[in-house]
Structure 1
Amino acid sequence: MSTESQSTAEAVSRPQAAARPFQNLGIIIPTWKAERHWADLERALAMQGLSPEQVLIIDSSSPDRTCELARASGYRVVVIPQKEFGHGRTRQAAIASMPPEAELLLYMTQDAVLDSPDSVCNLCAAMNDPEVGAAYGRQLPRAEADAIERHARLFSYPDVSQVRSFESRHAVGIRAAFLSNSFAIYRRTALEAVGGFPSDVIFGEDSYVAAKLLMAGWKVVYQADATAVHSHAFTVRQEFARYFDIGVHHDREAWMLEAFGSAGGEGQKFVRSELAYLNRHDRSLIPLALVRTATKLLAYRLGRHWRRLPNAWNCRLSSNPVFWQAS
């Protein structure tokens, strides 16, 4: 098989309708103050043909009505203290609450809204190949997204599916290990074979596992016809914090860059693509985009040098202060 396939029809076949209702599938959604998203989340899940009992909500002691609404929807609910949440640790712990027949584990975030009645079905199709350890779907921009937010989704989530192996690193570098737990599915046996989600990552538990899977000989699929609406209008401050955490993650998990290559080439490609897109769609946003680019670069470099900074600074610069408070 070629290093990278861009034929959805050949590489990732669509399952027949008889494959429903996904008896071997479990859905895990970590939540925190999800009440404002609940109507959209529940509606989108309901149209997938799933049983409510297949959905596990793992909530970080939300002060709103998240748990009440989840139970009313028929979902199973596990509540943990907010201070115990960790991007990898919480997702890994949730597996213990899934029945043994749930060989496929689908992870979502509370603000990812499935875009089609076939979103879950199409994502499950990627797992028809027994060599696939994980797959993730296409994330579409919100209707109200500006050109910067829209481009970010179009760049990272194109309309053509891909199948990646460890050999793909020669063509796309660290991008080969890209995966997003906002809408992703894992083969349970594959996830367990590589040690599951790490308990001590600040960020990027999904790409961490994708890299481990690829290195162990599994394939990772990007399934473009499995769609969810999920994008954010990050402020400059929020984007700074996010890229600071990415820098920290890449320093702490240096093996990923050693195995797949640095993120620099992908970043340059993104900037060129963004400027070209804004030139076509909204030139007034180009100055802001340049400021954001400089901010992200500074934040990433600071993150790579987190060991030289006082812990209080790291806590203040990060989007995940709980991580530093527990350090």
Structure 2
Amino acid sequence: MKIDIICPLYKGEKYIRGLHSSLLKQENVEINNINYVLTRTNDQSESILKELGAKYEIIEPKDFSHSTAREMMARKSNADIIVFISQDVKIIKNDWLYYLTVDIINGNCEAAYSRQLADKNNIEKYTREKNYGNQSFIKTKNDIKSMGLNTFFFSDASSAISKKVFEELNYYDGKILASNEDQYIAYKLIMAGYRIKYCADSEVIHSHDFSFKTLYKRYQDTGDFYRTEPYMNNYGTNSTGAGMAKYILKRIIEDKNWKAAIEFIPNMAARFLGMKVKK
């Protein structure tokens, strides 16, 4: 099956060369196109893309959202599988794309997402551990009762979806989503009876060291998503957040990670207040 890779870029000049090189090294897959969606800025991203001979389209900042940029490019694709990646993922292995897409190719699922590993010894290290274990599994509508909101956990920092199914579901319905567009499509997939695979063998490194202000803003966007898509609140948003906080605290204590311990309360407060103010 032919694969199109779509990567939104925003002030991504420091990532492009390494990311593009790692994509070209992928083995045992048929890459149809690597397409970048460049939000116009005054950095050197466009010059680097031209230097690499990469395919890209430019959009204005006022026209960007996480859903609209991806939907625009996916609608133009003639591939069998759409793969979304974030500009700041680090792809270390040449089998990342193979493991991400093989079960879609073999008819075992309609969408898949990669394991994300952290390279920073902060709180995000523990959120990655919680969300991305070392065992692969497939989620279906039958798992909602046991998994709740986690049934719809799906990250397009590194994900794949059948183009035919994506088109059938009308992509993101033309919605302008500042965040959680991946959760939105995961909900549609699951509720339509499709299968999502978590691929532990498809690994990327993806972690941040956000300021509390940035974290607060990100969770405002998440809260806004749950406000505008209120049906999501029926699956235990509060219990999911509480479970994550308990896990993080447990792991901080086990690791004696004092830096993370100092950050724990303001970090959790930024998440909670950001969600609450918009939700």
Whether TM-score is above 0.5 comes out as yes
Q: Offset at 1:37? A: 0.9
Tell me the residue number matched to 1:155: 130
In the TM superposition, what is the alpha-carbon distance from 1:97 to its structure 2 partner? 3.2
**Equivalent residue letter for 2:3:** L
**Secondary structure of 2:14 counterpart:** helix
- Segment of structure 1 superposing worse, 124-133 or 89-98: 124-133
Tell me which of 72, 86, 89 is aligned to 2:51.
72
Tell me whether 1:268 sits opposite 2:234 in the alignment: no
Instruction: Pick closer, same or farther for the CA change 1:189–1:53 going to 2, 3 Å.
Output: closer
Partner of 1:313: none
Q: Mark the CA change 1:96 to 1:112 in structure 2 (over 3 Å): closer, same or farther.
A: same
Cα deviations by residue, 1:70-103 (Å, 9 ceiling, x for unpaired) = 23323211111121111111100112332x2x01
Question: How well do the aligned residues superpose, as a CA RMSD in angstroms?
Answer: 1.7
The question of whether the paired residues in 1 share the 8 Å contact of 2:75 and 2:167 is answered with no
Percentage identity across paired residues of the two chains: 22
Which residue, 210, 213, 222 being the options, matches 1:234?
A: 210
Q: Structure 1's 295 and 241: CA in aligned 2 closer, same or farther, altered over 3 A?
A: same
The equivalent position to 1:136 in structure 2, one of 88, 98, 113, is 113
Distance 1:66 1:287 in 2: 37
What's the CA shift string for 1:227-256, capped at 9, x where partnerless? 111111111111111111111101100122
Query: Shift of the alpha carbon at 1:265?
Result: 1.5
Q: Where does residue 298 of structure 1 map in the other structure?
A: 273
Aligned residue for 1:112, secondary structure, equals coil
1:166 maps to which residue?
141
Corresponding residue to 1:190 among 165, 184, 188: 165
Q: For 2:251, which of 263, 277, 291 is the aligned residue?
A: 277
1: distance between equivalents of 2:240 and 2:106? 28
The change in CA–CA distance for 1:188 and 1:133 in structure 2 (over 3 A counts) is: same
| Structure-2 change in CA distance of 1:294 and 1:264 (3 Å) | same
Match of 1:38 in 2: 16
Say whether 1:108 aligns with 2:85: yes
The TM-score, its normalising length taken from structure 2, stands at 0.93
Relative to the length of structure 1, the TM-score reads 0.80
Structure with higher Rg: it is 1
Task: Look up the SS of the partner of 1:135 in the other structure.
Answer: strand
Which ranges of structure 1 fall in alignment gaps of 5 or more residues? Answer: 1-22, 305-327
- The answer to whether the 8 Å contact 1:147/1:281 transfers is no
Contact conserved, 1:58 with 1:79, CA < 8 A, in 2?
yes
Question: How big is the shift at 1:262?
Answer: 2.0
Of the three residues 13, 26, 47, the one matched with 2:4 is 26
Aligned residues: 276
For residues 20 and 275 of structure 2, what CA distance do their matches in structure 1 show? 36
What do residues 163-216 of structure 1 show as CA deviations (whole Å, max 9, x unaligned)? 000121111111100111110001011111111024222211111001001000
Conserved? CA contact 1:25–1:54, under 8 Å: yes
In the alignment, the residues of structure 2 paired with residue 135 and residue 257 of structure 1 have an alpha-carbon distance, to the nearest angstrom, of 23
Q: Aligned-pair distance for 1:35?
A: 0.8
How do 1:210-249 residues align onto structure 2 when only pairs under 5 Å count? Answer: 210-249=186-225
User: In the alignment, is the contact (CA less than 8 A) between 1:114 and 1:229 conserved in 2?
Assistant: yes
Whether the 8 Å CA contact 1:52–1:74 is kept in 2: the answer is: no
